Amino acid sequence: MNIDALKSFLDRKVEEYNRPIFINDDPVSVPHSFSLKQDIEISAFFAATFAWGNRTTIINKSRELMRLMDNSPHQFITQHREEDLRRFEGFCHRTFNTTDLLYFISFLQAHYQKYSSLEDAFTIPPVELDHKEPIESRLDNFYALFFSLEHVPLRTRKHVAAPSKNSACKRLNMYLRWMVRDDKKGVDFGLWKKIKQHELICPLDLHVARVARKFGLVERPSADWQAALDLTRHLRSFDPTDPVKYDFALFALGVIEKF
């Protein structure tokens, strides 16, 4: 398949899958349960953090956590008392456990005491103008900020990725896609304006990487940060203003169509 034919094919798949009808079976359905900006971004952050493994399990565990937060995550994060945290004893999703959750809550509480949106955690400090992709700097800065509190559990660091650790940062890039993309199609939220959608990096997991290799969009054998950059740069040649819209096509081909 030549480049023009591939672009046309992927464009059709984007149109097919970038539709609200697919929301219910995807972790993005969790933040779609809320209307308050802060509730959306908090619930989305947890849903993205949990996003490995079976999608039904991811959704169910995310909804369980939201129920434990009285389905008002921002209010709970900012107003809970110490004794309220006992309800999380025994909560886990795969390797994410109560210790990790309590640290996440601590960070979010500290953040919302200073800022009105989680967007600021990805945009402060400003991105330096160096050789990196802007998102690379933003994700490394976010990692440093997230683990800047005292007494960080060593085990919790594995639940937040960073380009500096050569991770593809699939879950964080997916989270940023949800928050930043603004195409009025009803799936992604477009709530954040300080990050531009052309800066976004395509979420790269094993399924997307497999499909991308079949199309010659990725050559690296590992689904690492450089592979995510390589894929995104190819996708920018198809649409320089919105390259990560092709995540809808690549993910659906890999997971739904078993391409």
The CA distance from 249 to 42, in Å, is 26
Q: Model confidence over 168-197: pLDDT tens digits?
A: 999 999 999 999 999 999 999 999 999 999
> Average pLDDT, stretch 67-79?
98
- Is-above-0.85 flag for pTM? yes
CA 157/CA 153 separation, integer angstroms? 7
**Which pLDDT value is given to residue 249?**
98
106 close to 98: Cβ distance less than 8 angstroms? no
Tell me how far apart the alpha carbons of residues 236 and 135 are, in angstroms, rounded to a whole number: 15
What pLDDT score was predicted for residue 183?
A: 96
DSSP code of residue 177 = H
pLDDT score at 160? 98
pLDDT of residue 45: 98
223: domain range? 3-256
Q: How many domains does the chain have?
A: 1
pLDDT (tens digit, 9 = 90+) per residue, 11-49? 999 999 999 999 999 999 999 999 999 999 999 999 999
Sign of CA dihedral 93, 115, 133, 247: positive
pLDDT, one tens digit per residue, over 201-237 is 999 999 999 999 999 999 999 999 999 999 999 999 9
Give 106-158 pLDDT, tens digit per residue: 999 999 999 999 999 999 877 665 557 899 999 999 999 999 999 999 999 99
**What's the pLDDT score for residue 130?**
59
Residue 149 to residue 87: CA distance in whole angstroms:
23
Spatial contact of 220 and 253, defined as CB atoms under 8 Å apart: no
Alpha-carbon separation of residue 60 from 26, 29, 50, 67, 113 (angstroms): 11, 11, 10, 11, 29
Inter-residue contact 228 to 169 (CB < 8 Å) = yes
Query: Residue 224: what are its φ and ψ, rounded to 5°?
Result: -110, -170
* SS3 (DSSP) at 204: coil
d(CA 229, CA 138): 14
Q: Phi first, then psi: give them for residue 167, nearest 5 degrees.
A: -80, 145
pLDDT digits (tens, 9 = 90+) for 74-90: 999 999 999 999 999 99
**What's the pLDDT band for 103 if we cut at 50, 70, 90?**
very high
Task: With H, G, I as helix, E, B as strand and everything else as coil, classify residue 47.
Answer: helix
> What pLDDT is recorded for position 129?
55
Question: 123 Cβ partners below 8 Å, 6+ apart?
Answer: 138, 194, 195
